[in-house]
Chain A
């Protein structure tokens, strides 16, 4: 089955700095890679996703890059704000929007210090 590794497990940055979280996956059949933000006791919230036919996607301060050859993808948050503090999870699936399961990374606790 799929195995998703995520690093770092904790990340502390100063407000305004950039944050980068990296994930690797094992199953070459995976082609949908979402990133979720989860606040304590809440459901995961999709912040950005990417499919295997795209190498990079950006949405304002958030960007995701994908290297299918190396089987890794990364989340980039620029100009971080205290409200970005949360746990971030990467995930992988053979196909988003179908009945294939999502496999999650272990999460990264991001702390943005004012």
Chain B
């Protein structure tokens, strides 16, 4: 149980375009979704916390206008990287809290060319 499905797993986009990443909780309701970014050989850094039906809370230094988060339902949270640049290339992972801990999506490898 407590599965989070994340799509796409890999995406390559051109500089200046936008990319949307989706995370769906398949068998539970996720009132909160955490969005992390992981650069190569580094740790998971929290970008923002999304709560169903309200505005996301962004960590210091994360541009809210660039990383748009929507959590319109209890089973879907999305992260849109707007006007992507090569420095946004990274591994993005979502995570939801459950009764027993945290469950992670499978991650999205974003490459901006």
Interface positions of A (Cβ within 8 A of B): 32, 34, 41-44, 46, 49, 89, 93, 96-107
Give B7 Cβ to nearest chain A Cβ, in Å: 13
- The answer to whether B43 and A32 touch across the interface, beta carbons within 8 angstroms, is no
Of B13-21, B73-81, B82-90, B93-101, which binds chain A?
B93-101
**Binding site of A, secondary structure by majority: helix, strand, loop or mixed?**
loop
Q: Say whether, besides A41-B91, A41-B107, A102-B34, A96 and B102 are in contact (CB < 8 Å).
A: yes
Residue from A96, A102, A106 with most neighbouring chain B CB atoms (10 Å): A102
- The answer to whether A97 and B97 touch across the interface, beta carbons within 8 angstroms, is yes
**Cβ of B31: which chain A residues have Cβ within 8 Å of it?**
99
Closest partner residue, chain B, to A100 (CB atom): B97
Q: Say whether, besides A42-B107, A102-B95, A107 and B43 are in contact (CB < 8 Å).
A: yes
Q: Within B1-48, which residues are at the interface with A (CB < 8 Å)?
A: 31-32, 34, 42-46
**Cβ of B46: which chain A residues have Cβ within 8 Å of it?**
101-103
A selection of 9 A-B contacts at a CB cut-off of 8 Å is: A32-B101, A46-B102, A97-B98, A97-B99, A99-B32, A99-B51, A102-B46, A104-B45, A106-B42
Closest partner residue, chain B, to A99 (CB atom): B32
- The answer to whether B104 and A96 touch across the interface, beta carbons within 8 angstroms, is no
Q: Say whether, besides A43-B106, A43-B107, A89-B43, A96 and B101 are in contact (CB < 8 Å).
A: yes
Give A59 Cβ to nearest chain B Cβ, in Å: 14
Closest partner residue, chain A, to B60 (CB atom): A1
